[in-house]
Amino acid sequence: MPPGDASDADLHKSDTQVQGSKAFGAGELTFGSPEISDGPQLWDLASAAGNLDVNSRYHYLLWCRDFADTSVVARAADGRIAGFLTGYRRPSAPDTFFTWQVAVSPDFRRRGLARRMLDHLVDSLRPQGVRFVEATVTPDNKASIRLFESFAEANGADLALDVLFSERELGSGHESEVLHRIGPLAGR
């Protein structure tokens, strides 16, 4: 468990305070569901993050309205969003949580924040029957690949890889998107 990690009990609160002084060097971070008013900050962070397909502002606003329960933001004491992870349960396979986008502000990277957001969200969804985590990653995104490997290892779960969308399908010189499927996860 990384320094300053929240206890299991804390993970199940809707807004979880995470001691950040050791882990993040920037005071406390609070984990919670995004609100519509967070949409513009999510768009800003996605635009600045690199490696992400940036969608319209409208898209982030809508996500904060309709997929807040399956998304998390990590908020610093000054209101700034240090990171977010957005996802949804697949309508045709509700035991599967699909990670749509994850981004951490450069100031907060490599301190375990993305892993902890993923842990937080998946732990909140296990009681609802989520047993698999999926994400697509481009082959050059080492940080993201390691994030999902690390999550699979910590959970003792299998990690299967398969191309979901090819370069031809994505077009415009976009690299292929490789599906990372992790599970089954223990129910807890």
| Site for ligand COA, rule CB under 6 A | 49-52, 102-104, 109-115, 135, 137, 141-144, 146-147, 150
Nearest distance in Å: CB 111, ligand COA: 5
Q: Using the minimum distance from each CB to ligand COA, give the nearer residue, 127 or 161.
A: 161
Roughly what angle, to the nearest 10 degrees, separates helices 113-125 and 142-154? Answer: 50
Nearest distance in Å: CB 108, ligand COA: 6
Nearest distance in Å: CB 154, ligand COA: 7
Q: Using the minimum distance from each CB to ligand COA, give the nearer residue, 89 or 116.
A: 116
Q: Using the minimum distance from each CB to ligand COA, give the nearer residue, 61 or 147.
A: 147
Side-chain half-sphere CA neighbours of 142 within 13 A: 1
Q: Which residue has the tokens 């100031």?
A: 107
> What DSSP assignment string belongs to 87-141?
EEEETTEEEEEEEEEEEE-GGGTTSSHHHHHHHHHHHHHGGGT--EEEEEE-TT-
- C-alpha–C-alpha distance, residues 107 and 48, integer Å: 12
Q: Using the minimum distance from each CB to ligand COA, give the nearer residue, 129 or 154.
A: 154
Nearest distance in Å: CB 55, ligand COA: 13
